[in-house]
Structure formats: C-alpha cells, structure tokens
Amino acid sequence: RQKELDESLRRLNKFIQENNTKKQQAELKAKEEKLQATQLDESIRSLLLYTKNLRKRLSMLKVEVKHMGRFGQFLESVLEVSEEFNTVEDVLKRFETLKTTNQDLASRSNTAVQRNEAAKKELAQVRMSRDDDVMQLNTRIAQVLHTLDDETTDLSPEESLDKQLSSAQDALVGVSACYLGIDNLYSRVRSVTTVPRPLETETEAKLSRIAFFIQDLEAILQEVRRTEQRDRDKERERERETQSQTK
C-alpha cells in the first residue's frame, strides 16, 4: 500500500514539474509573440506613414507635371514655327547657352565696373596728388625765391648759386613723385590694353591715354547693360507668349 502511495506521489510530482515547465515555456512564447506583435505594429504604422507621404508626393508631382505641361506645349509650338530647332532638346540647349552667355556678360559687366571705378579713383588720386604737389611746389618756390632774395644780398655769387641749386633739387623731388604716379597708372593701362599702340613719352599724352581708357570702359559697361536689358525684354516677351498660349 505504501509503495502505491509513493508511486502516486512520484507521478504527481513529475506531472506538476512537467506542467510548470510547459507553463514557463508557454509564458516565454507569449512574451516573444507579444514583442513581435508590438514590432509589427510599429512597422505597420511606419509603412502607413511612408505610404501617406508617397501619396502626398505623388499628388504634388501630378500638379507639377500638369503645370509644366504647358511649357512642353510651348516648346512644341516653337518647333512648329521655327526652322532653327529640330527637337525640344535643341531649344533647351539654346536656352542654356543664352543663360550661360548672360551670366558671362553679367560677370564681365561687374568686372568692368570694378576696373572702371578703380581706374577712376586712381586717376582722381593722381590728379589730386599732382595738383597738391604743384600747389606745394609753387608755394615752396615762392618761399625759396623770397628767402633767396633776402639771403643772396649777403652771400657771395658761389654761395648764392649753391643755395639756388639746393632749393631747386628739393622742388624736383616732389615733381618726380607726381610723374612716377602718372607713369605707374599709365603702365597699368597699357598692361590691360589689347590694341597695340606706340609708347607715349609725354606726360600729357599719357594722361590722355588714361582718360581714353576710362571712356572705353564706360562705353563697354553701357553696351553690356544694354545687352542685359535686351535679354530681359526678350525673356519677358517669351513669358507673355507662354501665358497667352496657355490661356
């Protein structure tokens, strides 16, 4: 009898252990499935949001395609009335060429403006410096002559001559500085001029050459501005034609 009870107790304990093991396994599996379900829910929400964004992007692209369609029609109409272009790509290439040319002209215009302004400032500085030097030299010469008149009465002829030579040398230093400034500006003008011209030696001729260079820069600048204005007028005319054809 006792053996039967012991055997029953052993089987009961074994059954309980097996059930506990199965329970733990079931709980672990349930946790894993719950975690997978949570991850799947997050993936679904992410995919739904991605799909929503794609649909929104698709709607925007449809609107853009519809909006750009009239430009395609305009390009096709250009091919019908113009023998210069064979395909739409030719028209677009021509547009890119004109756009690049316009940018190049704008860059050249800015460069010409900067060079013109720099040359004007430098010429103004040279003229101002020259006028100041001339005024100072005239004042200095007058002072020296006045001083010489006062001092030469008490000096010997040799001493008087030395005094005059020293004063004249001081005056020539200022004149030389003025001439060097003119020569420097003249050299810069010749360095950027492509048209060969004989080398001027007279100061007045150099100043005239500098003035002509500034006038040429101003003429180039005006021509560039006129070209840019014509391009803008043509662009506005094309836009009006496009709007008219679209309507």
Same domain, 117 and 193: yes
Does the pLDDT value for residue 72 go beyond 80? Answer: no
Could you tell me the pTM of the whole model? Answer: 0.34
Sequential DSSP letters for 111-127: HHHHHHHHHHHHHHHHH
Does the pLDDT value for residue 48 go beyond 90? Answer: yes
Q: Both ends of the chain: CA-CA distance in Å?
A: 108
Please give the mean pLDDT across all residues of the chain.
Answer: 76
Residue 88, domain member (yes or no)? no
Give the 3-state secondary structure percentages of the chain, helix then strand then coil, rounded to 5: 90, 0, 10
Same domain, 40 and 131: no
Same domain, 221 and 121: yes
Residue 117, domain member (yes or no)? yes
**Residue closest to 191 by CA, chosen among 128, 115, 126, 129:** 115
- Lowest mean pLDDT across 21-35, 68-82, 134-148: 134-148
Residue 109 has a pLDDT of 78
The 8 Å CB, 24+ separation contacts for 171-179 are: 171/137, 171/140, 171/141, 171/144, 174/133, 174/136, 174/137, 174/140, 175/133, 175/137, 177/129, 177/133, 178/126, 178/129, 178/130, 178/133, 178/134, 179/203
Domain boundary among 67, 90, 121: 67
Cα 200 from Cα 129, distance rounded (Å): 21
Does the pLDDT value for residue 49 go beyond 90? Answer: yes
Task: Record the tokens describing residue 141, joined without a space.
Answer: 């010469």
Does the pLDDT value for residue 46 go beyond 90? Answer: yes
Same domain, 183 and 134: yes
* Rounded average pLDDT over 210-222: 75
* Rounded average pLDDT over 12-22: 86
Here the CATH number for the domain that contains residue 124 is 1.20.58
Residue 199, domain member (yes or no)? yes
**Residue closest to 215 by CA, chosen among 70, 105, 112:** 112
* Rounded average pLDDT over 54-81: 83
Q: What pLDDT, in 10s, does the model give residues 151-176?
A: 555 545 555 555 555 555 555 555 66
Residue 73, domain member (yes or no)? no
Report the domain count for the chain.
2
Show the domain range for 225. 106-229
Does the pLDDT value for residue 103 go beyond 80? Answer: yes
The 8 Å CB, 24+ separation contacts for 211-219 are: 211/123, 213/119, 213/189, 214/116, 214/119, 214/120, 214/123, 217/112, 217/115, 217/116, 217/119, 218/116
Cα 53 from Cα 164, distance rounded (Å): 94
- To the nearest whole percent, how much of the chain has pLDDT over 70? 73
